[in-house]
Structure formats: structure tokens, C-alpha cells
């Protein structure tokens, strides 16, 4: 497996695990970490033996944001011409589902990275926020857009304009988080969820993710039409025949991802 400096990469069965690993900087997202996360995620996405990804951090921090010390001297022409931070967008194009397992701080780019994932499971210690305004900037990896879609305008405006952090319970109430678990069970719960997803028919899981994501990109009528086309396409898979035969025969399905 490729060696990385700022992340740990592991696999368990059909689940690929990426652990952010800059503990001294609370997993601040510097350019090297961005490059490595994107490379590792894309490698898992291409790997037919992997069905689902987990992205996690440490007990204290999922990630405390973009690396402030790295970016403080940045100048407009360079960041603009480089379209700096755009590589993170590649995570939104991953085809396989990604589970974010968040404990501790998920601030700024850390909150944005969690929101780039598909299922967000939070430890009871998780704290979410977009504090960029306190640094004289605004979010740059989609925070103002994805947070607003997840929690609505009122709460997104308040969090983004004041930089206030919200705890796991508030985040779950607001719809940002799918589930809260005790901190010491976070990884096990995230892995169990990822293993469940990875055991589904891979084509169905990819269709499912694509279809849910479509809800954010189009009108209801177009989204329903898109879903129906993929639903029809699912009948071209061997897994549809297997899944339905298994139900009729009262046995577990054995998907072949075909
Ligand atoms: N960038 C660089 N270094 C960071 C960092 C960041 N985002 N967050 C924490 N660190 C570093 C600290 O500088 C410190 O390093 P030293 O020991 O060398 O001083 C180390 O991590 C530990 O941090 P603290 O001592 O501050 O830990 P704490 O427990 O007292 O506080 C915290 C934790 C509240 C998360 C605090 O570290 C903090 O406020 N961090 C910054 C959060 C932030 O503003 N994030 C947004 C960044 S901008 C962004 O993300 C833009 C975007 O949209 C892409």
C-alpha cells in the first residue's frame, strides 16, 4: 500500500479507511494532507475490492480546519490562478459511499470535509463550526453551500456569521449528522455502517448515492426522472435477480456486484 505522511490508510474487508494524522496540528488540512486524502480516496474508489470508505480523525479532532499557518501569507493571484483548494472537490465525485466518523473538532475545512462525505456519524464529543469569519475570510471548500443545504439558512447564517460551534446533539437535530454515538464506539459504529453498505450490491449502492446526490443538483421532477431511469437500469444487473430471488427463497442475498 502507498506510504503517506499525513494520513493513515487501512482496509478491513471491503471497507477502505482513511485516518487524518497530523495530531500536533489537530489534523489541520494542509496541501500535503489534501493531496494525500484525495489520492487515497480515489485509489479506494477505483478498487473493485472496496465497497465503502470511512474517513476519520482523532479523538480530539476530526480536523480543525484548513492549515492557517500554511495559508496566512497566501496572495490573491496565486490562490486564484491555482484554484487553490479545488482538489477537495474531487471527493464529491467519488462514486462509492463515504462515511465520515467525526469526534472532537470539525471546524472550517474539517466541517467541510465531513460534509463532503455521504453519511456523517458523530461522537457525542463532536463540535462543528465554520469559524472562518473570525480569521477575516469565508469557507472555501463548500461550507457556506453544504451547511446551508444541510441545516437551512437560519442556522447556517448564524454559525457562519458568528463562528459559533455547535455540539453533536444540535448538529443531529439540525440534520447535519445522521447519528450520534458514544465517543469510544465511534469507529466501530462507523465501520459497522460502512460494512453494511459495502455488503450491498455495488452497482445499487453507486446508483443510490448518485440518485440521492441528484436531489441537491436539480428540480424534483428531474430528480424523480433520474431516479426512475436508474431504477430501470438496476433490472439489468445480476444482483437485482439475486436480491429478489433471495427474498423469495428466504435466504441472505449473495451479491456479485454485477
Ligand atoms: N491550522 C493550523 N494549525 C492549527 C489549526 C489550524 N486550523 N488548528 C489548530 N492548530 C494547531 C495550533 O496552532 C496548535 O499548534 P501549536 O501547538 O504549534 O501552537 C495545535 O494545533 C493545538 O491547537 P490549540 O493549542 O489551539 O488547541 P486548543 O485545544 O486550545 O484549541 C481549537 C482547539 C479551538 C480547535 C483551536 O485550535 C482553533 O480555534 N483552531 C482553529 C480553528 C479554525 O479557525 N478553523 C478554520 C480554519 S480556516 C478554513 O478552514 C478555511 C476553509 O474553509 C478551507
ipTM score assigned to the predicted complex: 0.98
Structure confidence at residue 3 (pLDDT): 87
Question: Could you read off the pLDDT of 109-159 as tens digits, one per residue?
Answer: 999 999 999 999 999 999 999 999 999 999 999 999 999 999 999 999 999
Ligand 1 centroid, distance to 28 Cα (angstroms): 7
Mean per-residue pLDDT over the chain, rounded: 98
Structure confidence at residue 38 (pLDDT): 98
Ligand 1 atom nearest the C-alpha of 60 is 29
Structure confidence at residue 2 (pLDDT): 80
Q: Which residues are catalytic?
A: 66, 109, 112, 132
Ligand 1 centroid, distance to 23 Cα (angstroms): 11
Ligand 1 atom nearest the C-alpha of 67 is 1
Ligand 1 atom nearest the C-alpha of 26 is 21
Ligand 1 centroid, distance to 78 Cα (angstroms): 24
In this structure, the residues whose C-beta lies within 6 A of any atom of ligand 1 are 25-26, 28, 64-69, 85, 105, 107-109, 112, 131-132, 135, 139-141, 143
Q: Measuring from atom 35 of ligand 1, which residue has the nearest CA?
A: 64
What single string gives the DSSP state of each residue in the chain? Answer: ----SSEEEEEETTEEEEEE--GGGTT-B-HHHHHHHHHHHHHHHH-TT--EEEEE--SSEEE--B-HHHHTT--HHHHHHHTTTGGGGGGGG-SS-EEEEE-SEEETHHHHHHHHSSEEEEETT-EEE-GGGGGT---SSSHHHHHHHHH-HHHHHHHHHH---EEHHHHHHHTS-SEEE-GGGHHHHHHHHHHHHHTS-HHHHHHHHHHHHHTTTS-HHHHHHHHHHHHHHHTTSHHHHHHHHHHHTTS-------
Ligand 1 centroid, distance to 65 Cα (angstroms): 7
Structure confidence at residue 222 (pLDDT): 98
Question: Could you read off the pLDDT of 159-188 as tens digits, one per residue?
Answer: 999 999 999 999 999 999 999 999 999 999
Ligand 1 atom nearest the C-alpha of 105 is 35
Question: Could you read off the pLDDT of 238-251 as tens digits, one per residue?
Answer: 999 999 999 999 99
Ligand 1 centroid, distance to 88 Cα (angstroms): 19
Q: Measuring from atom 13 of ligand 1, which residue has the nearest CA?
A: 25
Q: Measuring from atom 11 of ligand 1, which residue has the nearest CA?
A: 25
Amino acid at each position: 500500500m502507498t506510504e503517506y505522511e499525513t494520513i493513515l490508510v487501512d482496509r478491513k474487508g471491503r471497507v477502505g479507511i482513511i485516518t487524518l494524522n497530523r495530531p500536533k496540528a489537530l489534523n489541520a488540512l494542509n496541501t500535503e494532507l489534501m493531496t494525500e486524502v484525495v489520492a487515497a480516496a480515489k485509489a479506494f474508489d477505483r478498487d473493485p475490492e472496496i465497497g465503502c470508505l470511512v474517513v476519520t480523525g482523532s479523538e480530539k479532532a476530526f480536523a480543525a480546519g484548513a492549515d492557517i499557518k500554511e495559508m496566512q501569507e497566501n496572495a490573491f493571484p496565486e490562490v486564484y490562478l491555482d484554484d487553490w483548494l479545488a482538489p477537495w472537490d474531487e471527493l464529491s465525485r467519488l462514486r462509492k459511499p463515504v462515511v465520515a466518523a467525526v469526534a472532537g473538532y470539525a471546524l472550517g475545512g474539517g466541517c467541510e470535509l465531513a460534509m463532503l462525505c455521504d453519511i456523517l456519524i458523530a461522537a457525542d464529543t463532536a463540535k462543528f463550526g465554520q469559524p472562518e469569519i473570525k480569521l477575516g475570510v469565508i469557507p472555501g471548500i463548500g461550507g457556506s453551500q453544504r451547511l446551508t443545504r444541510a441545516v437551512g439558512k437560519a442556522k447556517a447564517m448564524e454559525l457562519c456569521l458568528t463562528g459559533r460551534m455547535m455540539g453533536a446533539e444540535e448538529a443531529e437535530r439540525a440534520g447535519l449528522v445522521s447519528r450520534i454515538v458514544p465517543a469510544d464506539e465511534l469507529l466501530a459504529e462507523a465501520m459497522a455502517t460502512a460494512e453494511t453498505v459495502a455488503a450491498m450490491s455495488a452497482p445499487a449502492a453507486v446508483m443510490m448515492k448518485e440518485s440521492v446526490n441528484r436531489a441537491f443538483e436539480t428540480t424534483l421532477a428531474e430528480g424523480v426522472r433520474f431516479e426512475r431511469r436508474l431504477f430501470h437500469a438496476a433490472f439489468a444487473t445480476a444482483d437485482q435477480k439475486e436480491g429478489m430471488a433471495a427474498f423469495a427463497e428466504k435466504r441472505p442475498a449473495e451479491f456479485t456486484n454485477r
